[in-house]
Structure 1
Amino acid sequence: MSAPILVTGAAGFIGFHVAQRLLKAGHHVVGVDSFTPYYDVALKEARFANLTPHNTFLGERLDLADAQATKDLFQRHRFKRVIHLAAQPGVRFVDPQPYVTSNLVAFTNMLEACRHGGIEHLVYASSSSVYGANRKLPFSEHDAADHPISLYAATKKANEMMAHSYAHLFGLPSTGLRFFTVYGPWGRPDMAVYTFTRAIAEGREIQVANAGKVWRDFTYVDDIVEGIVRLVGRAASPDPAWNAENPDPATSAAPHRVYNIGNDNPEEVNRLIALIEDALGRKAIRVDKPLPPGDVLETRADVSDLRRDVGFAPSISLEEGVRRFVAWYKTYHGA
């Protein structure tokens, strides 16, 4: 039997969908989650419950911030490929400690476990939030991302730098993915598509930033999963831009790469709201508010590198994605 693939954050939104896709493709998957209460744990439990009936899935409940537990996990299963999606999400600053624990301490433990475990490829979650105060659009991996405007973004940028250093020092093959506004069935209830749908369905008002004049590169989860699965099966490769700037073999051989993964087609939030209204057959009760600290007016992914290297091609339109999400929402909530 081939070595199982580790998916961390398997009870989370993207991790759940990645695990499902790998299981359907015939892979053995070990899914890890700590079930933190950042949002409704019942939703995480429901996702996990959909994975456990597969006889090629093994679920483990543990905190990756526990270094010994993480080391033991790798010793039990002898992974060769790891998809690390567990993190403390959210750009709204409340308490710094969960970001430090989940995004820095746990990530360090993962790097150490991968280093000593002889991992062939670590694919990990970064975020479009790392672009922060950048004004050049579309956002490109080849542009500097040195001005994060949220603690979450700062930790994700730190993850990229940490992974690069492990690739350089220890030859750990790794690829970071900067996700752009992922949505879809089983999504996070703190994100716009879910919060708007729930409020409109229940006849409550929705808080609309900047009168809806905000653009997001909404990316349907199936498109994200396709990119992740294509990448994890490949060998990690050095960034050619880095090699061009550092021709010395001693500094240019690090097998680490960062990719944008998004729809490359920003949509205005007002259009998103209209599509949800159409799918629900109800009008929104809107209350305008300023753009919150830590947010930006527009995101757009330049995905040319990912398209070239793995044939990434998002295929789900916002209309179709919202229709699928609302259909799932009605089923899950009995609406």
Structure 2
Amino acid sequence: MTEYQPYRLSVAPMMDWTDRHCRVFHRQMTRRAMLYTEMVTAPAIVHGPKPRLLDFSPQEHPVALQLGGSDPVELASAVRIAAPWGYDEINLNCGCPSDRVQSGCFGAVLMERPTLVADCVRAMQGETDTPVTVKCRIGVDNQDPEAVLPAFIETMAGAGVRHIIVHARKAWLQGLSPKENREIPPLDHDLVVRMKRLFSELTICINGGITSLAQAKALLDHGLDGVMLGRAAYHDPANTLIGADALWGDDFAPDSLAVVDTMRPYIAAHLARGGRLHQITRHMLGLFQGRPGARGWRRVLSVEATRDGAGLEVIDRALAELQARAA
């Protein structure tokens, strides 16, 4: 059996998507993969509602907290505040290209400030024994990735970072929207593979444009330590996460109907606390992607789960629609 390494497969931090309900849902399909929070800014943790920002269900483990920020003191404070929550990894975002992130001087713009990033991670490491990792791009704007990426990784290694996740695209801070930055800049998986060969002592993981488990396994076979799935894991979770634990030699692979059943107690508890159904089911729309009846499943959940008082009976109706169309 392959030694357990939670970074071998992970689900990317995705704003407005990978909240705590999404992560519980994903955990029903994989017991092994590392799940990442949405990015939370260090100022929000220092000054904001800490339980709302940091709470998660114990069943989410292994789970990583992704932080955004560029002030070493503030990031250190955020790590210290988050410590009692017991995250399995703390990740610093050096890859998000949004305007909001740029104006705060964090995210992908930090690719231009590796010395500052090194100061940040040293300050973060000083507050925790939990691994502090970095997620970055291959470069930004007119930078030459062949020169910039190895220099950035070397600086991170010098600061004590042992695990780096590389989104294998440039980020264009001027001229492209965040959505376009996820799609238009060309992928360079080969460059990330070369970084693993150059920095063999580091854990190097790849993100960007990976849409299947077969593709993930091929990249692992090229020597990379881990693969991070993004939008594919969200829009087509069954086909990308069910069976993923085979990467660790684990045969855990529930079918999609079983996943719905395992979510029921969690959903019922959420509703009992005054939560709304669609807060969870919005993440489940793609569960039957590509199967007969999937459109009916999505339609019932999209329309009915948003209504006041919607409960588990909506899921039953969505399943009935799925099964009627599949018959």
Using the size of structure 1 for normalisation, the TM-score is 0.37
Higher share in strand: 1
Higher share in helix: 2
Q: Which has the higher contact order (CA 8 A, sep 6+)?
A: 1
